[in-house]
Amino acid sequence: MTCKGEGQLTEIQIEGSDILLRFARESDLEGYFTFIQDTEINRLTGSQREFTRDEIATWIRKISVQNNDRVDFMIVLKGINELLGEVVLNEIDSINLSANIRIGIQGTQHRGKGYGTEAMIHMLRYGFNVLKLHRIHLGVYTFNPRAIHVYEKIGFKREGVQRDSLYIDGKFHDMITMAILEDEFRLLHDSLH
C-alpha cells in the first residue's frame, strides 16, 4: 500500500498483481458514469435508481477522500488505467469494529478474470489491518451464484437469509447475508501476502 501526500493522507493506493485500488478522481467521471449505467451490475446489486451525470460528479467529489464511515476505492486495470469497477467498505462501525463490503465489476469482458477476487482480498486486508475491523459482512442475492461462490472461496460464511428482500423483474428475491471475521481471513490469506 502506498500513501501519497505531505503531512496529510490525500490518496491511498493499493497495488495488486493485475489491479490498482485508489480513490476516485474527477477524471473518472465518464468511466464511473458508464459503470453506473451497467444494467447487469444494477441487477446483480439490486440497484433500481438512475443517476444523472451531475449526481455522479457530486458523488465522485464526495468519495475522492477518505471518510470516517466509508472507504470507496476504484478498481483500475494496471498499465492502462482502465476503470473496472469499485470496491467499498461502508457502514463502518468503529465501536463494534464492523463494516459492510460491496463490489461491482463492469462489463462482461472484465468478469471471470479474478479482478473482483483480488480487489475483495485487498479491501478485506485493508479493513482488518488498517481500519482494525473485526467483522466484515455483505449481502448477495440468490440469483447471483457466481458471486456467492467467490465470497465462499474468499472465506465468507453464510449467516442467514433475508426473505423476499428485493423486488425486481416482477419477482421477489432472497438476499443471503455473509460475513468473514478477522481471524478467519488471516488463517486463509495471511500466508499469501
Query: What backbone phi and psi angles, to 5 degrees, belong to 78?
Result: -65, 150
Please write the tens of the pLDDT for every residue from 181-190.
999 999 999 8
pLDDT of residue 60: 87
Confidence of residue 40 (pLDDT cuts 50, 70, 90): confident
Q: Is the pLDDT of residue 43 over 90?
A: no
Please write the tens of the pLDDT for every residue from 105-154.
887 667 778 899 999 999 999 999 999 999 999 999 999 999 999 999 99
CA distance 82 to 76: 5
Q: Is the pLDDT of residue 7 over 50?
A: no
CA distance 145 to 177: 13
Q: What is the pTM of this model?
A: 0.87
Q: Is the pLDDT of residue 2 over 70?
A: no
Angle at 93 between CA 90 and CA 95, to 5 degrees: 170
